[in-house]
Amino acid sequence: MAVGPTLAVIGLLCLQGSLAVGSAENNVAFKLFSQLSSAEHTQPQLNYPGFPYRYAGQQANATPECFRIGNGRTMKSQAEFVAAINNRTTTWKAGVNPKRNDQYRPGVLSDYSMQYQLPKGFVLNKYEEPLPISFDARQKWTYCPSINTVRNQGCCDSSYAVAAVSTMTDRWCVHSDGKSQFGFGAFDVLSCCHRCGFGCDGGVPDAVWHYWVENGITSGGAFGSNEGCQSYPFDVCRKADEPTNVPLCRRSCQPGYNFTYVEDKHYGRVAYTVPNDEERIMYELYNFGPVQTSFTMFTDFVQYKSGVYHHTFGLRVGTHSVKVIGWGEENNVKFWLCANSWGAAWGEAGFFKIVRGENHLNVEANVITGLPLFR
């Protein structure tokens, strides 16, 4: 029998370095991230390569109708771009998603992430049974509806935060055996965690997980839902130039909520990276719940409709972060099953599959996760 999540605290995990555990100043994790609280890192000066063109299908000074695919080639319509992809790919199908390409946003500051990497974790014992050929976390933990929930980051480059809190929500449910359905929200991260990034201009996933362990994160539902302490501050993206001014940090919950900001904070016990190893990622996912990963995003990914995504052509947009909930094979092609944060109208009802086992676009090199702290 595979080891269950309730046994997955520290006994199964050994770290190369240290875990980000608790708040004790004498542990290595605290020292590792102490720089994040320093004045020079509170508002870091960053030459983010995403500016001035960080949005899918668009390059600086390009008209909205142009789809640049590199090597000086420009396609004049989305339909032409989609047709060109489908003529070259065999594992997935492109299509026209309901929004303009520049309304689908990434949100990871990959060049800055190297400074804030969590320590690596690895499983000590041998796998007790072979992992299945396919796995879907929604089917194993049916009492956790959040696993099947697709969030919408809107026009905000916040995938670093949205994917993190979505994964935390799932793991909170999984490790409580469904007894606690606490929905972590991204508002607290975007507004109050200055070391996590630049709000809607991207951020660092590892820093979000460290914030969970050190500071806790409040609850929050979708925009306008009035769910939780602080609802997500942005609606769905209706036009590319919508303002995304992140609200100032507000250490209070919305009117009518039954808990204070401090009371609502829920914490992680440990945060760590999963080694760049297909089987170890599968083991982590199968036993302990969904994980977060980030990968290099190109313009063709925005056109994804079905199948197993493998980059075909197009310009690099940036780095995007998502939640991984399973794996499988389709037409003899291995894949990871992921939940995106662009709403349920994109892709396969908000989900997608991406090639597994070859670290395609670094999808297996950037897996991070953590375990909840129950008090």
Angle among Cα 240, 245, 247 to the nearest 5 degrees reads 145
Per-residue model confidence as pLDDT tens digits over 55-70: 333 333 333 334 666 5
Contact between 129 and 1 (Cβ < 8 Å): yes
Distance of alpha carbon 188 from alpha carbon 232, whole angstroms: 9
Say if residues 273 and 210 touch (Cβ distance below 8 Å): no
List the beta strands (DSSP E) in the chain. 13-16, 20-21, 67-70, 73-75, 92-94, 120-123, 135-136, 267-273, 291-298, 304-309, 316-330, 333-339, 351-355, 368-373
Q: pTM score > 0.85 for this model? A: no
For residue 253 the two structure tokens come to 């919950």
Residues contacting 245, CB < 8 A, separation 6+: 200
Residue 165 CB-half CA count within 13 A: 32
Per-residue model confidence as pLDDT tens for the chain (375 residues): 333 443 333 333 333 333 444 433 333 333 333 333 332 333 333 333 332 223 333 333 333 334 666 565 667 688 888 999 999 988 999 998 776 666 677 767 766 656 677 888 765 555 677 899 999 999 999 999 999 999 999 989 999 999 999 999 999 999 999 999 999 999 999 999 999 999 999 999 999 999 999 999 999 999 999 899 999 999 988 776 777 889 899 999 999 999 999 999 999 999 999 999 999 999 999 999 999 999 999 999 999 999 999 999 888 999 999 999 999 999 999 999 999 999 999 999 999 999 999 999 999 999 999 999 998
pLDDT at residue 102, rounded to an integer: 63
Distance CA 43, CA 59 (A): 27
47: number of Cβ within 10 Å: 7
Q: Phi and psi at residue 28, in whole multiples of 5°?
A: -65, -35
Sign of CA dihedral 34, 166, 351, 355: positive
DSSP class of residue 258?
S
How many angstroms separate the CA atoms of 299 and 173, rounded? Answer: 34
Domains of the chain: 69-373 (3.90.70.10)
